[in-house]
Structure 1
Amino acid sequence: MSRLDDLIRAMPPGSVKHLPVGELVDVVPTPRGVKRERYVDGSTIPIVDQGEGLVAGFTDEESLRIPAAEHIVFGDHTRAIKWVPFEFAVGADGTKVLKSKPEVLPRYLYHSLRNLSVPSRGYSRHWAALRALAVPVPPLEVQREVVRILDTFTSLEAELEAELEARRRQRQTYLDALIHASVEQRQPLGELGKLVRGRRFTKNDFAESGIPVIHYGEIYTHYGTAATETRSFVRDEIANTLRFAQPGDLIIATTGENLRDVAKAVAWLGDIDVAIHDDSYAFKHSLNPKYASYVFQSTDFASQKGRLVTAGKLTRISGSSLAKIQVPIVSLSEQQRIVAILDQFDALVNDLSIGIPAELAARRKQYEYYRDKLLTFEEAS
């Protein structure tokens, strides 16, 4: 970083202005967003929305195409910040497309925005908060050197992410092969057990401690194949209004923003009963709980649920539709064997303490450390 150090030393102390984001960008007027039901597999125009991933899907609607440029996409609801240098269409609702003004390099601004802490306003719009936050604007030559250094870290991250994604695809291939290789029979969920719908609780019911609960949204944002502890609790006073899943039950989310999230399941392996939301079901069964959870992750299961969901502002699946989904049934000993193998793959792609996930987490921390260090400038008086 000697070149950057030399450039910074050449700057007069306190000469860097800190300007609000709103003064450094233009909000790009965009065509209407693509509704979820208009996503078309095999199309050529990528869709960028405010979800976690970069590309959410594809569309063939030419009138919605935004020409390629160095754009930054901000999720008004999610606070996601994405670098989008290719042509694309925006997903429906809450996606802001930003273009930097001449005094700030687009890539420098992208790194700067990622270094900001945008205060949470729940599901409320966050653009008003972001545009008021200030970022340092050093000379363009300094910006270029900061970008060069930080992009070195992000390229290393990208290599690890690509390798991890390859491992995830390999895991999916093994999961599908193991679950469907020795199928003795298939039965609908409704014949294998009982689906029990949870009961509603609201954000006002959450507490630091109390009754352990699993909210439907946490199933696809926080939990994996199985869980022994909850991350959330509600007030003890509402116990009589709740419905509970028992140890060994599968807890299934029935509402989500996309098809992938709907019918995501987690096996509850804790020692006590846990309350569940009314946008989820407890599946009471005699299968190995983790085997059942892995079945819900299979490609065949995804194909079946895709024919049964209803799409609108949110994607949903009903209990009666869930009950129709056919799942492969093998002996308990075979279920246990499959679980043991898939648990090893899970560790390779999800365990932050070992392998690629651990290395990727370390790289991200390193990037965040240097990003904070390199984007700290004494403000002009």
Structure 2
Amino acid sequence: MSRLDELITELCPDGVEYKLIGDVCDFINGFAFKSSKFQGYGEPILRISNIQDKKIDTSNLVYFNLDDYTEDLSKYIVNKGDIVVAMSGATTGKIGVNDTDSIYYLNQRVGKFVPNEKIILNRFLYHILTSKTQLIYQISGGGAQPNLSSEKLKQIKIPLPPLPVQQEIVRILDNFTELTAELTAELTAELTARRKQYEYYRDLLLTFGDEVEWKTLGEIGKLIRGSGLLKSDFVEEGFPCIHYGQIHTYYGTSATETISFVSVDKSKKLKKAKKGDVLIAGVSENVEDVCKPLAWLGGDICISGDMFAFRHNQNTKYITYLLQTTDFSRYKEKFAHGAKVTRLRQDKLLAYKIPVPPLEEQERIVAILDRFDALCNDLTSGIPAEIEARQKQYEYYRDKLLSFKEVTA
């Protein structure tokens, strides 16, 4: 019999009492900080967008000056270990915990739980709440504009086993969480190392001197600009198509099939890419991803605006790999422009000079890089799958450990 089983047998053999969240902890709604007084330094403000993946994301914090407010803001402080919840917006219902040594101040639409630790442990409450995120989202109304009420939140019923039982459950679940985090860090480090190795050999294989001919992209091919295709045009079956955004989010180095389609009638009005074209995303949110290439190796497809089909007489994957190199990244940094979105003008793209060895040499290089690319892709797809499996394992044991027979009065 495990230690937990022993404790349950000794302290609550007939089940445990269930209570409302509002009966075992206080809840503090955030303060309405004025956005006009946000600044780039000072005291950090915790907004709904900062609650991500059960943690506090500090990448987009805003700050304020205490002297700008006459109110006592001490109750809005989020200390280490405090549990918070997003009350509206895209992250509604997400639970976060401050696992840093820093303090933050609760903004409006962010709530903080203050448990009565004489009857419920803070970490026990945390694990309970992470098991209730779907329920919390549902009581917020869901939909396009979810809005969580603190009063409804307080009405959620939770089990309340004796403190020694809570302590043992917390120990088990915290250990499981720590092991998962360690595994994630190891897998991510391995992937980073493999990617750096791949990038090094890719750049090395694609580095040439005067022993080969150099030409601009404009000298070996032409750009065909897409137009007219919207995501709202997608249908279940029909003529294959690719939207520029999918190059960023779905496709890798090459593809032979699409995940989207348009009607045959609509396809007749749209620009087409052909087998062997390099599809290029013409717009991005950053310089790194602008002009992201995709070697298209399937049949004719429709292409959207803000992307190009580069038609040429070279090895398609060879051109694609060249447009992934560090050299091309530096070229983009020099000539790409834009405030909200980043673009590289067509004339600048076509002016980019590349080495053009014989097709046999291009094929040899592509064969080597394909093997590296496949290895990185296997790791990339494998890591999220492994992490998801561990997360589901944690959720399974968490839900099992937090399921108690209710004692009725």
Is TM > 0.5 for Structure 1 vs Structure 2?
yes
Q: Distance in 2 between matches of 1:329 and 1:31?
A: 58
Q: 1:31 to 1:87 in 2, by over 3 A?
A: farther
TM-score by length of 1: 0.72
Query: How many Å apart are 1:366 and its aligned residue?
Result: 3.1
Q: Distance in 1 between matches of 2:366 and 2:136?
A: 40
Query: How many Å apart are 1:197 and its aligned residue?
Result: 0.6
8 Å Cα contact 1:254/1:262 also seen in 2? yes
Q: Which moved more, 1:160-169 or 1:97-106?
A: 97-106
Q: Distance in 1 between matches of 2:381 and 2:78?
A: 35
Quote the residue 2:283 is aligned against: 255
Q: Which has the larger radius of gyration?
A: 2
Q: Which runs of 5+ in 2 are unaligned?
A: 41-48, 66-76, 116-121, 161-165
Quote the residue 1:188 is aligned against: 216
Deviation string 1:65-122 (CA, Å, 9 cap, x unpaired) is x99966989896699998885699xxxxxx9996752335497489658888979xxx
TM-score by length of 2: 0.67
8 Å Cα contact 1:225/1:293 also seen in 2? yes
Q: Distance in 1 between matches of 2:343 and 2:79?
A: 34
In the alignment, structure 1 residue 145 sits paired with structure 2 residue 189: no
Query: How many Å apart are 1:137 and its aligned residue?
Result: 5.7
After TM superposition, the structure 1 = structure 2 runs for residues 230-245 of structure 1, keeping only pairs within 5 Å, are 230-245=258-273
Q: Distance in 1 between matches of 2:31 and 2:377?
A: 37
Quote the residue 1:91 is aligned against: none
After TM superposition, the structure 1 = structure 2 runs for residues 52-131 of structure 1, keeping only pairs within 5 Å, are 85=99, 100-103=112-115, 104-105=122-123, 108=127, 112=131, 128=147
Q: Which moved more, 1:196-205 or 1:136-145?
A: 136-145
Q: Which moved more, 1:255-264 or 1:309-318?
A: 309-318
Q: What number of residue pairs does the alignment pair up?
A: 350
8 Å Cα contact 2:84/2:113 also seen in 1? no
Deviation string 1:202-228 (CA, Å, 9 cap, x unpaired) is 232111111111111111111111001
Q: Distance in 2 between matches of 1:221 and 1:269?
A: 19
In the alignment, structure 1 residue 309 sits paired with structure 2 residue 321: no
In the alignment, structure 1 residue 283 sits paired with structure 2 residue 310: yes
Quote the residue 1:364 is aligned against: 388
Quote the residue 2:399 is aligned against: 375
Determine which of 195, 202, 226 is the counterpart of 1:198: 226
AA aligned opposite 1:102? V
AA aligned opposite 2:279? I
Quote the residue 1:343 is aligned against: 370
In the alignment, structure 1 residue 266 sits paired with structure 2 residue 294: yes
8 Å Cα contact 1:188/1:325 also seen in 2? yes
Partner of 2:114: helix, strand, or coil?
coil
Quote the residue 1:44 is aligned against: none
Q: Which moved more, 1:147-156 or 1:274-283?
A: 147-156
Identity value in percent: 33
Q: Could you say what the CA RMSD is over the residues aligned between the two structures, in angstroms?
A: 4.7
In the alignment, structure 1 residue 211 sits paired with structure 2 residue 239: yes
